[in-house]
Amino acid sequence: MTRHTDARPPMADHWWWRPGWQPGTRFLTFHFTFQNAPEVHRLAAAYRTALADVAGLDLVPDRWLHLTTQGLGFADTVPDDEVRAVLAAAATRLAALPPFDLTLHRPETTPEAIRWEATPTAPPAAVRTALRDAIRTVRGTVDEPDGFTPHISIAYSNTTGPAGPVQAALDTVDASPATTHIDHVDLVRLNRDRHMYEWDAHTPLPLGQ
């Protein structure tokens, strides 16, 4: 008898502590956020429902949906005057970039998360480039590497285990794509203390103004 095995990489715990992180750590980073994105909320609700009974997942509620864009630094290492200077430099650069639409459809399973890869990729990448230029101008260096895949996670894995049940749940969803309008990027003060990326709002920066 032939035994079929799942060729997908297994799920892994997303919440291990990366270098520099521990309970109580706060990190300044730029996100696209989706508090006012009803189409994204519709699509997210469909996938949260499908994934609700899959063990080992932390499902992301609407208020914490985000597209990670560019980190600035740990909050206790970036002086307030540098934060203000980065925001001013970024605002000038972002004024030259127009607002844009992003579309999400079917999420993909990665070892640590279930996520949508947002399209088109060029507009959010241009925002990230502008932010990196602003940070480099003020701070002299940018900590994060150049590689960038715009994505939005609907769930994070909190354990190890097979990916098959996750994919099976995703395959049950029949939902139309969601498109949302992006007209700003937010600087937020991020934490991951409770198996979720949560934040305090710091400063929104508009596009095209």
Specify which residues 65 forms β-bridges with: none
Residue with tokens 């970036």: 78
User: What are the boundaries of each domain within the chain?
Assistant: 27-206
Distance, CA of 50 to chain centre: 21
DSSP state of 89: H
- Rounded Cα gap, residues 180 and 104, in angstroms: 9
The tokens describing 130, both together, are 């502008």
Q: Is the pTM of this model over 0.85?
A: yes
Closest CA to 162 of 3, 5, 4: 5
Distance CA(57)–CA(154), nearest Å, equals 10
**Domain 27-206, architecture per CATH:** Alpha-Beta Complex (3.90)
Mean pLDDT by runs of 10 across the 209 residues of the chain is 58 96 97 97 98 98 98 96 98 98 97 98 98 97 88 98 97 98 98 97 95
Residue 1's pLDDT is: 39
CA proximity to 131, closest of 96, 91, 83, 98: 91
* CB-CB contact of 206 with 199 (8 Å): no
What whole-number distance in Å separates Cα of residue 112 and Cα of residue 14? 5
- pLDDT, residue 7, reads 66
Q: CA 51: distance to chain centroid?
A: 19
Query: Using CA atoms, how far apart are residues 24 and 74, in angstroms rounded to an integer?
Result: 11
What tokens does 196 get?
Answer: 């979720």
